Structure 1
Amino acid sequence: MKSVFLIALILALGSCQGAEVAEPMSAQDRSFSSVIVDGVEAFRGVLQKGSPEHGIPVMAPMKAAQRSFEFNSGEFSGTFGVENFVLEGLDQYEVKSMKMEVLRSRVTFEFHFPSVNVTTDYDLDLGSGFRVKRTGGAFFALEDLNIQGRISYSLGVFTSQLRVKDILVYPTVGNVNSQIENLSKYRIFNRKLNEVIEEFVTLTINDNTDFVASWVSEQATPICNELIGDRTLSDIIAIITGGN
Protein backbone atom coordinates (compact mmCIF):
# COMPACT_ATOMS: atom_id res chain seq x y z
CA MET A 1 0.00 0.00 0.00
CA LYS A 2 1.24 3.46 -0.81
CA SER A 3 2.73 5.10 2.25
CA VAL A 4 0.23 7.18 4.18
CA PHE A 5 3.01 9.30 5.67
CA LEU A 6 4.08 10.38 2.23
CA ILE A 7 0.51 11.14 1.23
CA ALA A 8 0.10 13.34 4.29
CA LEU A 9 3.28 15.26 3.61
CA ILE A 10 2.50 15.86 -0.04
CA LEU A 11 -0.99 17.02 0.81
CA ALA A 12 0.51 19.38 3.37
CA LEU A 13 2.75 20.83 0.69
CA GLY A 14 -0.31 21.42 -1.43
CA SER A 15 -2.11 23.17 1.37
CA CYS A 16 0.84 25.48 1.91
CA GLN A 17 1.13 26.40 -1.74
CA GLY A 18 -2.64 26.74 -1.98
CA ALA A 19 -2.62 29.24 0.85
CA GLU A 20 0.07 31.20 -0.98
CA VAL A 21 -2.10 31.41 -4.10
CA ALA A 22 -5.45 31.91 -2.44
CA GLU A 23 -4.75 34.39 0.33
CA PRO A 24 -2.09 37.04 0.93
CA MET A 25 0.06 36.11 3.88
CA SER A 26 -0.39 39.62 5.28
CA ALA A 27 -4.06 38.79 5.82
CA GLN A 28 -3.36 35.53 7.62
CA ASP A 29 -0.73 36.55 10.17
CA ARG A 30 0.87 33.13 10.19
CA SER A 31 3.91 31.61 8.59
CA PHE A 32 4.16 29.11 5.76
CA SER A 33 5.40 26.53 8.24
CA SER A 34 2.35 26.92 10.48
CA VAL A 35 0.08 26.46 7.45
CA ILE A 36 1.81 23.17 6.69
CA VAL A 37 1.47 22.02 10.30
CA ASP A 38 -2.25 22.84 10.16
CA GLY A 39 -2.55 20.71 7.03
CA VAL A 40 -0.71 17.76 8.57
CA GLU A 41 -2.79 17.98 11.74
CA ALA A 42 -5.98 18.13 9.67
CA PHE A 43 -4.87 15.00 7.80
CA ARG A 44 -5.36 13.08 11.04
CA GLY A 45 -9.08 13.24 10.28
CA VAL A 46 -8.52 11.79 6.80
CA LEU A 47 -6.66 8.85 8.35
CA GLN A 48 -9.50 8.26 10.79
CA LYS A 49 -12.42 8.73 8.38
CA GLY A 50 -10.92 8.11 4.95
CA SER A 51 -11.68 10.01 1.77
CA PRO A 52 -13.57 7.65 -0.59
CA GLU A 53 -13.92 10.27 -3.33
CA HIS A 54 -10.12 10.46 -3.50
CA GLY A 55 -9.52 6.74 -3.12
CA ILE A 56 -8.14 6.93 0.44
CA PRO A 57 -9.57 4.30 2.83
CA VAL A 58 -9.74 4.51 6.62
CA MET A 59 -6.21 3.91 7.88
CA ALA A 60 -6.51 4.57 11.60
CA PRO A 61 -7.01 1.81 12.33
CA MET A 62 -6.26 -0.06 9.12
CA LYS A 63 -8.04 -3.41 8.96
CA ALA A 64 -8.01 -6.43 6.67
CA ALA A 65 -10.20 -9.49 7.13
CA GLN A 66 -7.91 -11.89 5.27
CA ARG A 67 -4.89 -11.60 2.99
CA SER A 68 -2.48 -14.15 1.54
CA PHE A 69 0.94 -13.64 -0.05
CA GLU A 70 3.16 -15.99 -2.00
CA PHE A 71 6.95 -15.63 -1.99
CA ASN A 72 9.88 -17.30 -3.69
CA SER A 73 13.45 -16.27 -2.93
CA GLY A 74 15.18 -19.22 -4.58
CA GLU A 75 16.04 -21.24 -1.50
CA PHE A 76 12.77 -20.46 0.24
CA SER A 77 9.24 -20.43 -1.08
CA GLY A 78 5.81 -20.61 0.43
CA THR A 79 2.74 -18.67 1.45
CA PHE A 80 2.07 -16.25 4.26
CA GLY A 81 -1.47 -15.37 5.25
CA VAL A 82 -2.96 -12.97 7.77
CA GLU A 83 -6.45 -12.80 9.21
CA ASN A 84 -8.07 -10.21 11.47
CA PHE A 85 -5.25 -7.81 10.62
CA VAL A 86 -5.30 -4.47 12.49
CA LEU A 87 -2.67 -1.72 12.11
CA GLU A 88 -2.89 1.05 14.69
CA GLY A 89 -1.00 4.22 15.53
CA LEU A 90 -0.69 5.97 12.16
CA ASP A 91 -2.81 8.86 13.42
CA GLN A 92 -1.03 9.23 16.76
CA TYR A 93 1.84 11.31 15.45
CA GLU A 94 3.35 14.41 16.99
CA VAL A 95 4.75 17.07 14.69
CA LYS A 96 8.11 17.80 16.31
CA SER A 97 9.18 20.29 13.64
CA MET A 98 8.04 21.50 10.23
CA LYS A 99 9.88 24.14 8.26
CA MET A 100 9.00 25.54 4.84
CA GLU A 101 11.88 27.02 2.84
CA VAL A 102 10.14 28.85 0.01
CA LEU A 103 13.22 30.02 -1.86
CA ARG A 104 14.74 26.54 -1.79
CA SER A 105 11.39 24.87 -2.61
CA ARG A 106 11.60 22.31 0.13
CA VAL A 107 10.10 21.27 3.44
CA THR A 108 12.01 19.70 6.32
CA PHE A 109 10.11 17.80 8.98
CA GLU A 110 10.27 15.56 12.02
CA PHE A 111 7.47 13.30 13.27
CA HIS A 112 7.24 11.15 16.36
CA PHE A 113 5.00 8.09 16.73
CA PRO A 114 4.68 6.57 20.23
CA SER A 115 3.73 3.19 18.74
CA VAL A 116 2.87 1.84 15.30
CA ASN A 117 1.68 -1.70 15.86
CA VAL A 118 0.08 -4.70 14.18
CA THR A 119 -2.19 -7.33 15.71
CA THR A 120 -3.11 -10.32 13.57
CA ASP A 121 -3.50 -14.07 13.23
CA TYR A 122 -1.00 -15.59 10.82
CA ASP A 123 -0.52 -18.75 8.79
CA LEU A 124 2.94 -19.58 7.43
CA ASP A 125 3.68 -22.47 5.06
CA LEU A 126 7.39 -22.46 4.25
CA GLY A 127 9.09 -24.86 1.85
CA SER A 128 12.87 -25.33 1.80
CA GLY A 129 15.10 -28.29 2.64
CA PHE A 130 12.31 -29.22 5.03
CA ARG A 131 8.74 -28.03 5.42
CA VAL A 132 7.70 -25.59 8.10
CA LYS A 133 4.10 -24.76 8.96
CA ARG A 134 3.18 -22.31 11.67
CA THR A 135 -0.07 -20.66 12.77
CA GLY A 136 -0.91 -18.41 15.66
CA GLY A 137 -1.48 -14.92 16.88
CA ALA A 138 0.99 -12.09 16.55
CA PHE A 139 1.64 -8.62 17.91
CA PHE A 140 4.43 -6.48 16.49
CA ALA A 141 5.18 -2.85 17.33
CA LEU A 142 7.64 -0.12 16.44
CA GLU A 143 7.80 2.02 19.57
CA ASP A 144 9.23 5.51 19.93
CA LEU A 145 9.44 5.78 16.15
CA ASN A 146 11.01 9.02 14.93
CA ILE A 147 10.98 10.12 11.28
CA GLN A 148 13.05 13.03 10.05
CA GLY A 149 13.22 14.06 6.44
CA ARG A 150 13.01 16.51 3.58
CA ILE A 151 10.76 16.91 0.55
CA SER A 152 11.95 18.96 -2.42
CA TYR A 153 9.34 20.05 -4.93
CA SER A 154 8.61 22.28 -7.89
CA LEU A 155 5.53 24.23 -8.89
CA GLY A 156 4.71 25.04 -12.50
CA VAL A 157 5.10 28.68 -13.54
CA PHE A 158 1.93 28.81 -15.64
CA THR A 159 -0.05 26.07 -13.90
CA SER A 160 -0.71 25.01 -10.34
CA GLN A 161 0.76 21.56 -11.01
CA LEU A 162 2.81 20.34 -8.05
CA ARG A 163 5.68 17.92 -8.65
CA VAL A 164 7.86 16.17 -6.10
CA LYS A 165 11.57 16.15 -6.94
CA ASP A 166 12.84 13.93 -4.14
CA ILE A 167 11.88 12.61 -0.70
CA LEU A 168 14.46 11.86 1.96
CA VAL A 169 13.27 9.99 5.06
CA TYR A 170 15.51 9.04 8.01
CA PRO A 171 13.70 6.77 10.51
CA THR A 172 14.94 5.65 13.91
CA VAL A 173 13.18 3.39 16.40
CA GLY A 174 13.57 3.33 20.16
CA ASN A 175 12.22 -0.16 20.74
CA VAL A 176 10.80 -3.10 18.79
CA ASN A 177 8.25 -5.34 20.48
CA SER A 178 7.70 -8.73 18.83
CA GLN A 179 5.21 -11.20 20.32
CA ILE A 180 4.69 -13.83 17.63
CA GLU A 181 3.22 -17.11 18.79
CA ASN A 182 4.28 -20.62 17.73
CA LEU A 183 7.59 -19.79 16.09
CA SER A 184 8.68 -22.76 18.17
CA LYS A 185 6.68 -25.27 20.18
CA TYR A 186 9.02 -24.56 23.10
CA ARG A 187 8.16 -21.37 24.96
CA ILE A 188 11.76 -20.42 25.79
CA PHE A 189 12.85 -20.86 22.16
CA ASN A 190 9.84 -18.90 20.98
CA ARG A 191 10.84 -15.97 23.21
CA LYS A 192 14.44 -16.15 21.97
CA LEU A 193 13.30 -16.11 18.34
CA ASN A 194 11.19 -13.03 19.04
CA GLU A 195 14.22 -11.39 20.62
CA VAL A 196 16.24 -12.14 17.48
CA ILE A 197 13.50 -10.50 15.38
CA GLU A 198 13.46 -7.45 17.66
CA GLU A 199 17.22 -7.00 17.45
CA PHE A 200 17.30 -7.58 13.70
CA VAL A 201 14.58 -5.01 12.97
CA THR A 202 16.11 -2.44 15.35
CA LEU A 203 19.56 -2.74 13.74
CA THR A 204 18.09 -2.79 10.23
CA ILE A 205 16.28 0.50 10.81
CA ASN A 206 18.79 2.39 12.96
CA ASP A 207 22.00 1.31 11.21
CA ASN A 208 20.80 1.84 7.65
CA THR A 209 19.23 5.29 7.67
CA ASP A 210 21.13 6.49 4.57
CA PHE A 211 20.11 3.39 2.63
CA VAL A 212 16.49 3.84 3.72
CA ALA A 213 16.54 7.51 2.64
CA SER A 214 17.93 6.61 -0.79
CA TRP A 215 15.50 3.72 -1.25
CA VAL A 216 12.45 5.73 -0.15
CA SER A 217 13.35 8.60 -2.48
CA GLU A 218 13.72 6.23 -5.43
CA GLN A 219 10.51 4.36 -4.73
CA ALA A 220 8.26 7.04 -3.26
CA THR A 221 8.89 10.02 -5.54
CA PRO A 222 7.10 8.52 -8.58
CA ILE A 223 4.36 7.16 -6.31
CA CYS A 224 3.70 10.61 -4.85
CA ASN A 225 3.60 12.22 -8.29
CA GLU A 226 1.21 9.50 -9.39
CA LEU A 227 -0.98 10.22 -6.36
CA ILE A 228 -1.02 13.92 -7.22
CA GLY A 229 -1.75 13.15 -10.88
CA ASP A 230 -3.77 15.86 -12.60
CA ARG A 231 -5.28 17.18 -9.39
CA THR A 232 -5.18 20.92 -8.93
CA LEU A 233 -4.07 22.56 -5.71
CA SER A 234 -7.73 23.10 -4.87
CA ASP A 235 -8.30 19.35 -5.16
CA ILE A 236 -5.38 18.64 -2.86
CA ILE A 237 -6.57 21.16 -0.29
CA ALA A 238 -10.05 19.61 -0.43
CA ILE A 239 -8.61 16.24 0.57
CA ILE A 240 -7.12 17.81 3.68
CA THR A 241 -10.05 19.99 4.67
CA GLY A 242 -12.92 17.81 3.54
CA GLY A 243 -13.94 20.36 0.92
CA ASN A 244 -13.75 23.51 3.05
Structure 2
Amino acid sequence: MKSCALIAVLLALSLGHCQGAEVAEPVAVEGRSVSSEIVELLEVFRDLLETGYGPMPKLAPAEIKHQPFQFSTGEFSANGEINDFVLEGLNGFEVIIMNVDLIRSRVDFELNFGSINFTTLYQADVGSGYRMKREGGAYMALEDFNLKGRISYSLGVISKQMKVKSILVYPSVGNVASEIENLSQYRIFNRKLNEVVEEFITLTVNENTDFVANWLNEMVTPLCNDLIGDRSLSDLIAIITGAKK
Protein backbone atom coordinates (compact mmCIF):
# COMPACT_ATOMS: atom_id res chain seq x y z
CA MET A 1 0.00 0.00 0.00
CA LYS A 2 2.83 2.40 0.79
CA SER A 3 4.36 1.79 -2.65
CA CYS A 4 1.05 2.87 -4.27
CA ALA A 5 1.06 5.98 -2.12
CA LEU A 6 4.66 6.75 -3.08
CA ILE A 7 3.76 6.57 -6.78
CA ALA A 8 0.93 9.05 -6.19
CA VAL A 9 3.23 11.38 -4.26
CA LEU A 10 5.78 11.30 -7.08
CA LEU A 11 3.10 12.18 -9.62
CA ALA A 12 1.68 14.98 -7.51
CA LEU A 13 5.11 16.43 -6.75
CA SER A 14 5.95 16.68 -10.43
CA LEU A 15 2.68 18.46 -11.07
CA GLY A 16 3.07 20.82 -8.16
CA HIS A 17 6.68 21.63 -9.00
CA CYS A 18 5.85 22.70 -12.52
CA GLN A 19 2.59 24.40 -11.67
CA GLY A 20 4.25 26.38 -8.90
CA ALA A 21 7.03 27.63 -11.19
CA GLU A 22 6.75 30.83 -13.19
CA VAL A 23 6.97 29.78 -16.83
CA ALA A 24 6.26 31.55 -20.08
CA GLU A 25 5.20 28.47 -22.00
CA PRO A 26 1.55 28.06 -22.99
CA VAL A 27 -0.39 25.83 -20.59
CA ALA A 28 -0.83 23.05 -23.18
CA VAL A 29 2.90 22.93 -23.87
CA GLU A 30 3.66 23.06 -20.15
CA GLY A 31 1.25 20.17 -19.58
CA ARG A 32 3.15 18.04 -22.07
CA SER A 33 6.40 18.96 -20.34
CA VAL A 34 5.01 17.94 -16.96
CA SER A 35 3.81 14.64 -18.44
CA SER A 36 7.36 13.93 -19.60
CA GLU A 37 8.72 14.72 -16.14
CA ILE A 38 6.24 12.34 -14.54
CA VAL A 39 7.27 9.56 -16.91
CA GLU A 40 10.90 10.20 -15.94
CA LEU A 41 9.99 9.97 -12.25
CA LEU A 42 8.21 6.68 -12.87
CA GLU A 43 11.41 5.40 -14.43
CA VAL A 44 13.20 6.45 -11.23
CA PHE A 45 10.53 4.63 -9.24
CA ARG A 46 11.11 1.53 -11.38
CA ASP A 47 14.76 1.58 -10.29
CA LEU A 48 13.74 2.08 -6.64
CA LEU A 49 11.55 -1.03 -6.85
CA GLU A 50 14.67 -2.99 -7.75
CA THR A 51 16.89 -1.52 -5.02
CA GLY A 52 14.60 -0.22 -2.28
CA TYR A 53 14.78 3.29 -0.86
CA GLY A 54 14.45 4.51 2.73
CA PRO A 55 11.46 2.77 4.38
CA MET A 56 10.44 1.14 1.09
CA PRO A 57 11.96 -2.35 0.74
CA LYS A 58 13.09 -3.94 -2.50
CA LEU A 59 9.94 -5.05 -4.34
CA ALA A 60 11.24 -6.30 -7.69
CA PRO A 61 11.27 -9.08 -6.90
CA ALA A 62 9.54 -9.11 -3.51
CA GLU A 63 10.48 -12.13 -1.40
CA ILE A 64 9.08 -13.67 1.77
CA LYS A 65 10.87 -16.66 3.25
CA HIS A 66 8.11 -17.74 5.62
CA GLN A 67 4.66 -16.38 6.48
CA PRO A 68 1.90 -18.13 8.43
CA PHE A 69 -1.73 -17.28 7.66
CA GLN A 70 -5.10 -17.85 9.29
CA PHE A 71 -8.59 -16.62 8.48
CA SER A 72 -12.19 -17.56 9.07
CA THR A 73 -15.35 -16.48 7.24
CA GLY A 74 -18.59 -18.06 8.40
CA GLU A 75 -18.30 -21.83 8.08
CA PHE A 76 -15.12 -21.62 6.01
CA SER A 77 -11.75 -21.43 7.72
CA ALA A 78 -8.15 -21.95 6.72
CA ASN A 79 -4.76 -21.80 8.32
CA GLY A 80 -1.31 -22.69 7.13
CA GLU A 81 1.87 -21.12 5.83
CA ILE A 82 3.67 -20.03 2.71
CA ASN A 83 7.40 -20.47 2.14
CA ASP A 84 9.86 -19.12 -0.42
CA PHE A 85 7.31 -16.65 -1.79
CA VAL A 86 8.59 -14.61 -4.76
CA LEU A 87 6.53 -11.85 -6.42
CA GLU A 88 7.77 -10.55 -9.78
CA GLY A 89 6.62 -8.01 -12.33
CA LEU A 90 5.93 -4.85 -10.31
CA ASN A 91 8.71 -3.09 -12.23
CA GLY A 92 7.50 -4.36 -15.61
CA PHE A 93 5.03 -1.58 -16.34
CA GLU A 94 4.57 0.46 -19.50
CA VAL A 95 3.19 3.99 -19.44
CA ILE A 96 0.30 4.01 -21.92
CA ILE A 97 -1.26 7.40 -21.08
CA MET A 98 0.05 10.34 -19.05
CA ASN A 99 -2.09 13.45 -19.56
CA VAL A 100 -1.72 16.46 -17.30
CA ASP A 101 -4.34 19.16 -16.83
CA LEU A 102 -2.63 21.97 -14.92
CA ILE A 103 -5.71 24.18 -14.90
CA ARG A 104 -7.86 21.53 -13.20
CA SER A 105 -4.94 20.23 -11.09
CA ARG A 106 -5.24 16.61 -12.09
CA VAL A 107 -3.48 13.89 -14.06
CA ASP A 108 -5.03 11.03 -16.04
CA PHE A 109 -2.87 7.97 -16.48
CA GLU A 110 -2.83 4.40 -17.69
CA LEU A 111 -0.20 1.81 -16.82
CA ASN A 112 0.03 -1.71 -18.17
CA PHE A 113 1.87 -4.64 -16.58
CA GLY A 114 2.68 -7.55 -18.87
CA SER A 115 2.63 -10.04 -15.99
CA ILE A 116 2.53 -9.75 -12.21
CA ASN A 117 3.14 -13.23 -10.87
CA PHE A 118 4.21 -15.18 -7.82
CA THR A 119 5.58 -18.60 -6.97
CA THR A 120 5.50 -20.17 -3.54
CA LEU A 121 5.33 -23.36 -1.52
CA TYR A 122 2.24 -23.69 0.65
CA GLN A 123 0.66 -25.75 3.39
CA ALA A 124 -3.00 -25.32 4.22
CA ASP A 125 -5.55 -26.87 6.55
CA VAL A 126 -8.98 -25.92 5.17
CA GLY A 127 -12.34 -26.53 6.77
CA SER A 128 -15.96 -26.09 5.67
CA GLY A 129 -17.91 -28.74 7.53
CA TYR A 130 -14.95 -31.08 6.98
CA ARG A 131 -11.17 -30.85 7.21
CA MET A 132 -8.82 -30.97 4.23
CA LYS A 133 -5.04 -30.65 4.35
CA ARG A 134 -3.11 -29.70 1.25
CA GLU A 135 0.46 -28.71 0.42
CA GLY A 136 2.61 -28.19 -2.65
CA GLY A 137 3.83 -25.56 -5.05
CA ALA A 138 1.81 -22.70 -6.45
CA TYR A 139 2.13 -20.25 -9.34
CA MET A 140 -0.28 -17.47 -10.21
CA ALA A 141 -0.07 -14.64 -12.72
CA LEU A 142 -2.14 -11.60 -13.61
CA GLU A 143 -1.38 -11.10 -17.30
CA ASP A 144 -2.06 -7.89 -19.21
CA PHE A 145 -2.87 -6.18 -15.89
CA ASN A 146 -4.05 -2.62 -16.55
CA LEU A 147 -4.43 0.38 -14.23
CA LYS A 148 -6.34 3.46 -15.41
CA GLY A 149 -6.88 6.36 -13.10
CA ARG A 150 -6.91 9.99 -12.11
CA ILE A 151 -5.11 11.86 -9.34
CA SER A 152 -6.50 15.23 -8.22
CA TYR A 153 -4.41 17.52 -6.05
CA SER A 154 -4.13 21.06 -4.73
CA LEU A 155 -1.17 23.33 -4.16
CA GLY A 156 -1.23 26.23 -1.70
CA VAL A 157 -0.57 29.54 -3.44
CA ILE A 158 1.48 30.96 -0.57
CA SER A 159 2.58 27.93 1.44
CA LYS A 160 3.24 25.75 -1.63
CA GLN A 161 2.00 22.82 0.46
CA MET A 162 0.85 19.86 -1.58
CA LYS A 163 -2.37 18.03 -0.79
CA VAL A 164 -3.68 15.00 -2.63
CA LYS A 165 -7.46 15.34 -2.97
CA SER A 166 -8.34 11.98 -4.52
CA ILE A 167 -6.78 8.95 -6.18
CA LEU A 168 -9.05 6.88 -8.39
CA VAL A 169 -7.54 3.72 -9.90
CA TYR A 170 -9.56 1.30 -12.04
CA PRO A 171 -7.92 -2.14 -12.53
CA SER A 172 -8.59 -4.74 -15.20
CA VAL A 173 -6.90 -8.00 -16.12
CA GLY A 174 -6.68 -9.71 -19.50
CA ASN A 175 -5.90 -13.20 -18.26
CA VAL A 176 -5.26 -15.08 -15.02
CA ALA A 177 -3.02 -18.14 -14.92
CA SER A 178 -3.29 -20.43 -11.88
CA GLU A 179 -1.17 -23.52 -11.28
CA ILE A 180 -1.75 -24.57 -7.68
CA GLU A 181 -0.71 -28.11 -6.90
CA ASN A 182 -2.76 -30.60 -4.90
CA LEU A 183 -6.06 -28.77 -4.73
CA SER A 184 -7.33 -32.24 -5.56
CA GLN A 185 -5.57 -35.59 -5.49
CA TYR A 186 -6.84 -36.18 -9.04
CA ARG A 187 -5.01 -34.31 -11.80
CA ILE A 188 -8.07 -33.61 -13.94
CA PHE A 189 -10.01 -32.21 -10.96
CA ASN A 190 -6.98 -30.17 -9.93
CA ARG A 191 -6.93 -28.51 -13.37
CA LYS A 192 -10.64 -27.79 -13.18
CA LEU A 193 -10.28 -26.25 -9.73
CA ASN A 194 -7.49 -24.03 -11.03
CA GLU A 195 -9.79 -22.94 -13.85
CA VAL A 196 -12.39 -22.00 -11.23
CA VAL A 197 -9.74 -19.93 -9.43
CA GLU A 198 -8.77 -18.20 -12.70
CA GLU A 199 -12.36 -17.35 -13.57
CA PHE A 200 -13.15 -16.17 -10.03
CA ILE A 201 -10.18 -13.77 -9.93
CA THR A 202 -10.86 -12.47 -13.45
CA LEU A 203 -14.50 -11.72 -12.66
CA THR A 204 -13.65 -10.28 -9.23
CA VAL A 205 -11.16 -7.80 -10.73
CA ASN A 206 -13.03 -6.85 -13.91
CA GLU A 207 -16.53 -6.56 -12.44
CA ASN A 208 -15.64 -4.61 -9.30
CA THR A 209 -13.53 -1.77 -10.70
CA ASP A 210 -15.64 0.98 -9.10
CA PHE A 211 -15.52 -0.72 -5.70
CA VAL A 212 -11.72 -1.12 -5.92
CA ALA A 213 -11.30 2.52 -7.03
CA ASN A 214 -13.33 3.84 -4.10
CA TRP A 215 -11.62 1.52 -1.61
CA LEU A 216 -8.14 2.51 -2.78
CA ASN A 217 -9.09 6.18 -2.68
CA GLU A 218 -10.17 5.88 0.96
CA MET A 219 -7.00 3.97 1.88
CA VAL A 220 -4.25 5.56 -0.23
CA THR A 221 -5.23 9.25 -0.29
CA PRO A 222 -4.81 9.76 3.50
CA LEU A 223 -1.58 7.72 3.37
CA CYS A 224 -0.22 10.02 0.63
CA ASN A 225 -0.98 13.11 2.69
CA ASP A 226 0.61 11.48 5.74
CA LEU A 227 3.76 10.86 3.68
CA ILE A 228 3.77 14.49 2.55
CA GLY A 229 3.04 15.79 6.07
CA ASP A 230 3.77 19.45 6.69
CA ARG A 231 6.81 19.54 4.45
CA SER A 232 7.09 22.40 2.03
CA LEU A 233 7.09 21.76 -1.70
CA SER A 234 10.80 22.57 -1.89
CA ASP A 235 11.52 20.02 0.86
CA LEU A 236 9.63 17.32 -1.00
CA ILE A 237 11.30 18.10 -4.31
CA ALA A 238 14.69 17.88 -2.59
CA ILE A 239 13.78 14.40 -1.34
CA ILE A 240 12.79 13.22 -4.82
CA THR A 241 15.86 14.87 -6.36
CA GLY A 242 17.98 12.97 -3.89
CA ALA A 243 16.23 9.74 -4.92
CA LYS A 244 17.06 10.52 -8.57
CA LYS A 245 20.72 10.78 -7.72
Normalised TM-score (structure 1) = 0.89
Runs (5+) with no aligned partner, structure 1: none
- The 5-angstrom pairing of residues 67-82 of structure 1 reads 67-82=67-82
What is the distance in 2 between the residues matched to 1:193 and 1:202? 14
Question: CA contact under 8 A between 2:65 and 2:85: conserved in structure 1?
Answer: yes
Query: Which amino acid is 1:18 matched to?
Result: H
> What's the offset of the Cα at 1:204?
1.1
Question: CA contact under 8 A between 2:12 and 2:164: conserved in structure 1?
Answer: no
Runs of 4+ in 1 over 4 A off after TM superposition: 19-26
- The 5-angstrom pairing of residues 150-161 of structure 1 reads 150-161=150-161
Determine what percentage of the aligned residue pairs are the same residue: 53
What is the distance in 1 between the residues matched to 2:211 and 2:243? 36
Report the counterpart of residue 32 of structure 1 in structure 2: 34
The structure-2 alpha-carbon separation of the partners of 1:98 and 1:134, relative to structure 1 and needing over 3 Å to count, comes to same
Report the counterpart of residue 111 of structure 1 in structure 2: 111
> What's the offset of the Cα at 1:240?
6.2
Report the counterpart of residue 181 of structure 2 in structure 1: 181
The structure-2 alpha-carbon separation of the partners of 1:240 and 1:81, relative to structure 1 and needing over 3 Å to count, comes to farther
* Aligned pairs, number: 240
The structure-2 alpha-carbon separation of the partners of 1:33 and 1:243, relative to structure 1 and needing over 3 Å to count, comes to closer
Could you report, residue by residue, the CA deviation over 1:43-80 in whole angstroms, capped at 9, with x for unpaired residues? 1111111112xx11111111111111221212122324
Could you report, residue by residue, the CA deviation over 1:159-181 in whole angstroms, capped at 9, with x for unpaired residues? 23222111111111111000111
Q: Aligned with 2:90: secondary structure?
A: coil
What is the distance in 1 between the residues matched to 2:24 and 2:66? 49
* Alignment partner of 1:144 is 2:169: no
Let me know the Cα RMSD of the aligned residues: 2.2
What is the distance in 2 between the residues matched to 1:49 and 1:156? 33
Could you report, residue by residue, the CA deviation over 1:116-168 in whole angstroms, capped at 9, with x for unpaired residues? 00111112122331112111111100001111100111122332322211111
Report the counterpart of residue 132 of structure 2 in structure 1: 132
Q: Aligned with 1:158: secondary structure?
A: coil
Report the counterpart of residue 243 of structure 2 in structure 1: 242
- The 5-angstrom pairing of residues 1-244 of structure 1 reads 2=1, 4-21=3-20, 24=23, 31-52=33-54, 55-237=55-237, 238-239=239-240, 242=243, 244=245
What is the distance in 2 between the residues matched to 1:125 and 1:221? 37
Could you report, residue by residue, the CA deviation over 1:155-210 in whole angstroms, capped at 9, with x for unpaired residues? 22332322211111111111100011111111111100000010111111112222
> What's the offset of the Cα at 1:20?
4.4
Could you report, residue by residue, the CA deviation over 1:99-127 in whole angstroms, capped at 9, with x for unpaired residues? 11111111100001000001111121223
The structure-2 alpha-carbon separation of the partners of 1:167 and 1:96, relative to structure 1 and needing over 3 Å to count, comes to same
Could you report, residue by residue, the CA deviation over 1:5-32 in whole angstroms, capped at 9, with x for unpaired residues? 4421321221332344468475x98611
What is the distance in 2 between the residues matched to 1:136 and 1:210? 35
Could you report, residue by residue, the CA deviation over 1:68-101 in whole angstroms, capped at 9, with x for unpaired residues? 1221212122324211111110001000011111
What is the distance in 2 between the residues matched to 1:93 and 1:240? 22
